[in-house]
A and B are shown apart, each in its own frame.
Chain A
Amino acid sequence: MESARNQVGFALWSSADAGEIVDAHEGEQGSLLEILVAFQQRFGYVDDEAVDLLADRLNLSRAEVYGVVTFYADLKREPASGHTIRICRGESCQAVGATEIVEVAEQVFGGKLGTTDDNGVALEQVFCLGNCALSPAVMVDGELIGRVDAARIRELAARLGGYQGG
Chain B
Amino acid sequence: MVDRRRVFVPGDSAARSVGADEVARRITQISSERGLEVEVVRNGSRGLYWLEPLVEVETPEGRIGYGPVTAAEVEGLVDVGFLDGGDHALKIGVTEEIPYLAKQDRFSFADIGVIDPFSTSDYRAHGGLSGLTKALSMSSQEIVAAVSDSGLRGRGGAGFPTGIKWQTVLDAVADEKFVCCNADEGDSGTFADRMVMEGEPFLLIESMAIAGVAVGASVGYVFIRSEYPDALSAMRRAVEVAYEEGWLGSDILGSSYRFDLHVKSGAGAYISGEEMAMLESVEGRRAVVRAKPPLPAIQGLFGKPTLVNNVLSLIAIPRILTGGSKEYRERGCARSRGTQVFQLAGNVAHPGIVEVPFGITLHELLYGFGGGSRSGRPIKAVQVGGPLGSYIAVSDFSMKVDYETFAQAGAMVGHGGIVVHDDNTDMGKMARFAMEFCAVESCGKCTPCRIGSVRGMEVIDRILAKHDVLDNLRLLDDLLETMTDGSLCAMGGLTPMPVRSILKNFSAELGIDSIDLVEIGRVV
Contacts and interface: CB of A to CB of B under 8 A. Distances in A.
Contact of B430 (A33, A74, A91, A93): A91
Interface stretch (A5-13, A127-135, A154-162): A127-135
B347 A96 contact: yes
A134 B268 contact: no
A36 B189 CA distance: 29
B14 A72 contact: no
Interface string B364-402: 000000000011000000010001000000000000000
Contacts of B420: 95
A10 to B, nearest CB: 16
B228 interface: yes
Nearest to B383: A91
Contacts of A133: 14, 47, 49-50, 191, 343-345, 351-352
B331 interface: no
A131 B191 contact: yes
A140 B430 CA distance: 26
A36 B347 CA distance: 37
A134 B269 contact: no
Interface stretch (B200-208, B281-289, B483-491): B281-289
**Size band of the interface chain A makes with B:** 35 or more
A146 B14 contact: yes
Interface stretch (B305-313, B322-330, B433-441, B450-458): B433-441
Interface string A62-75: 00100110011111
Nearest to B302: A29
Contacts of A144: 13-14, 16-17, 230
Contacts of B50: 133
Contact of A68 (B16, B18, B190, B286): B286
Nearest to A95: B346
Interface in B222-246: 226-231
Contacts of B282: 30
Nearest to B286: A71
B265 A34 contact: yes
B179 to A, nearest CB: 15
B419 A130 contact: no
B267 A73 contact: yes
Contacts of A68: 284-286
A74 B226 contact: yes
Given A128-B227, A130-B191, A132-B190, A34 B284 contact: yes
Nearest to B49: A133
A141 B285 CA distance: 26
Contacts of A130: 13-14, 185, 190-191, 194, 227-228, 231
A135 B346 contact: yes
A146 B17 contact: yes
Contact of B270 (A32, A75, A127, A137): A127
Contacts of A128: 186-188, 190, 227
Contacts of B177: none
Contacts of A146: 14, 17-18
Contacts of A95: 345-347, 419-422, 425
A92 interface: yes
A101 to B, nearest CB: 14
7 contacts: A33-B267, A68-B285, A71-B286, A95-B347, A133-B345, A134-B52, A135-B345
Interface of B: 13-14, 16-18, 47, 49-50, 52, 185-191, 194, 226-231, 264-270, 281-287, 302, 343-347, 351-352, 374-375, 383, 387, 417, 419-422, 425, 430, 433, 437, 440-441
Q: For the complex of A and B, list the 4 residue pairs with the smallest distance between their C-beta atoms, beginning with the closest.
A: A90-B188, A73-B268, A132-B345, A95-B346
Given A75-B267, A128-B186, A133-B343, 8 more contacts: A90-B387, A91-B189, A95-B425, A96-B347, A130-B191, A130-B194, A131-B17, A144-B17
